[in-house]
Amino acid sequence: MNLDNQKNNHQSRREFVKSSSLLAGAMLAAPMLSKANFFSGSDDVIKIALIGCGNRGAGATVQALSTKQNVQLVAMADAFRDRMDSSLKNIMDEMSDKKNRVAVKEENKFIGFDAYKHAIALADVVILATPPGFRPIHFEEAVKQNKQIFMEKPVATDPAGIQRVLAAAKIAKDKKLNVVVGLQRRYQSSYRELIKRVHDGAIGDIVAAQAWWDNDGVWVHPRQPGWTEMEYQMRNWYYFNWLCGDHITEQHIHNLDVINWALDAYPVKAQGMGGREVRKGKDYGEIFDHHYVEFQYGNGAILNSQCRHIKGTMSKVDELLIGTKGKVFCDEARITDSKGKTLYQFDKKTDNQPYQNEHDELFAAVANGEFKFWDAERGAKSSMTSILGRMCTYSGQMIEWDKAINSGINIMPEKYDFAATPPILPNADGLYPVAVPGVTKYV
């Protein structure tokens, strides 16, 4: 084979990125990407930027740097310098055998609310891993700058944010920018095998489902002297809806997404109940510690979904699908007929590492100049499923999907600045207003 011809028939990575941008401008619909692996020369580095240098951001970066491709971390952005420093140290420790992959010059470390723009500009692929409230803003910018994207779930915390992500998702698709969303069950072999069989009719029509994210809960960062209210909420972000979306959005989204995936649909309406039994006091902001939601789908299927953060209670993170001919027990990776006879058992010892696989597949596509991933729309709709659930448990009302997603509800701050006023404030005792079903309207 004539290697020169082979080379000429394919684009270099630089050309791919450049032509992606050019196409982006022209909004061409036809695929333009060749399938070569461009990573055989000295000019083959895929540059990445990390936006949101916390635990998951560091983990996702190490996974990106651990793919087969020649990936290099060149820029970082965080609201806080201390978070960036500890994250960079963790990444360097993890990459001690491939030190040259971490190449973040001091001038490429950006701090503050506008940091993301500068870091995104320096990369080919960006990792968006801040608390989810910022995701719509960061995703929009990454799409505007024509980047390939890995973004963590959830992708927004309110309906207005979901609409922004849906609009940017459409542009990303038109521009042929790969977008992977960190709903890692979609990248896990066992789930892929189960859902493929469901779609092939293994359990007939799905009539009901259950989903659980029940466990002890997460960290708390108590207020420190000298912090403004904005800094406190940013540091203790889990407990504020504009940042986190409540734990139904922040964690239970994984299970809700599996059900949406299996049904290939999103709920048409929902109602539910919830509250806070033990999550009381100044450190716990406004979120609930339990939610139970009945989601109804267009085909009549009902999803009973529960999530709880209460120590000392049953722990379970799982999904169950019930069809006219059988059931799928997701955590066991087993399919049975209606009487309980096993029809299929995935060997869990052979399961892959889904967090790593997200990056293996994304970076292989980028390296090969392929447009293979457009997860943003489904990521947004599964995020919306969880937001709809929160709206139902907070209000105690039955709420329709269309009304919720088109409600325009926006819970984000008007201004991003450590001196600015966040959208929710404590009373004189340091306690935040908490939703009361029957009284609270849509939030």
Ligand X SMILES: NC(=O)c1ccc[n+]([C@@H]2O[C@H](COP(=O)([O-])OP(=O)(O)OC[C@H]3O[C@@H](n4cnc5c(N)ncnc54)[C@H](O)[C@@H]3O)[C@@H](O)[C@H]2O)c1
Length of the chain: 443
- CB of 51 or CB of 321, closer to ligand X: 51
Residues 6+ apart with CB under 8 A from 78: 51, 52, 53, 54, 84, 87, 110, 111, 115
Alpha-carbon distance of 112 to 52, in angstroms, equals 10
Does position 91 interact with ligand X (CB under 6 A)? The reply is no
According to DSSP, the residues that pair with 404 across neighbouring strands are none
Smallest distance from ligand X to CB 111, Å: 8
DSSP state of 264: T
Amino acid at 179: V
The answer to whether 413 contacts ligand X (rule: CB under 6 A) is: no
Contact window for ligand X (CB under 6 A) among 75-83, 263-271, 280-288, 404-412: 75-83
Nearer to ligand X, 79 or 198 (CB): 79
What is the footprint of ligand X within residues 18-57 (CB under 6 A)?
51-57
86 burial level (CB within 10 Å; 0-12, 13-18, 19+): middle
- Closest residue (Cβ) to ligand X? 54
| Least separation in angstroms between CB 250 and ligand X | 5
| Nearest distance, CB of residue 405 and ligand X, angstroms | 20
Task: Work out the angle at residue 71's Cα, subtended by the Cα atoms of residues 67 and 77, and round it to the nearest 5 degrees.
Answer: 115
- Rule CB under 6 A: is residue 130 a binding residue for ligand X? yes
Q: Is 323 in the site for ligand X (CB under 6 A)?
A: no
CA 116 to chain CA centroid, Å, is: 17
Shortest Cβ 239–ligand X spacing (Å): 12
Strands 46-51 and 71-78: parallel
363 binds ligand X (CB under 6 A): no
Q: Is 161 in the site for ligand X (CB under 6 A)?
A: no
Span from 40-48, 112-120, 209-217, 323-331 in contact with ligand X (CB under 6 A)? 112-120
Residues 6+ apart with CB under 8 A from 178: 148, 149, 362, 365, 366, 370, 371, 372, 373, 374
Q: Which residue number, 39 or 213, has a Cβ lying nearer to ligand X?
A: 213
**Exposed/middle/buried for residue 415 (C-beta within 10 Å: 0-12, 13-18, 19+):** exposed
Q: Which of 83, 101, 175, 291 binds ligand X (CB under 6 A)?
A: 83
115 touching ligand X, by CB under 6 A: yes
Is 251:185 a contact under the CB 8 Å cutoff? no
Q: How far is the CB of 255 from ligand X (least distance, A)?
A: 12
Which of the stretches 74-82, 363-371, 380-388, 389-397 binds ligand X when contact is defined by CB under 6 A?
74-82
Tokens (6 digits) for 433: 């207003």
240 lines the binding site for ligand X (CB under 6 A): no
Q: Interface with ligand X by CB under 6 A: which residues?
A: 51-57, 77-80, 83, 113, 115-116, 129-132, 134, 152-153, 182, 184, 234, 250
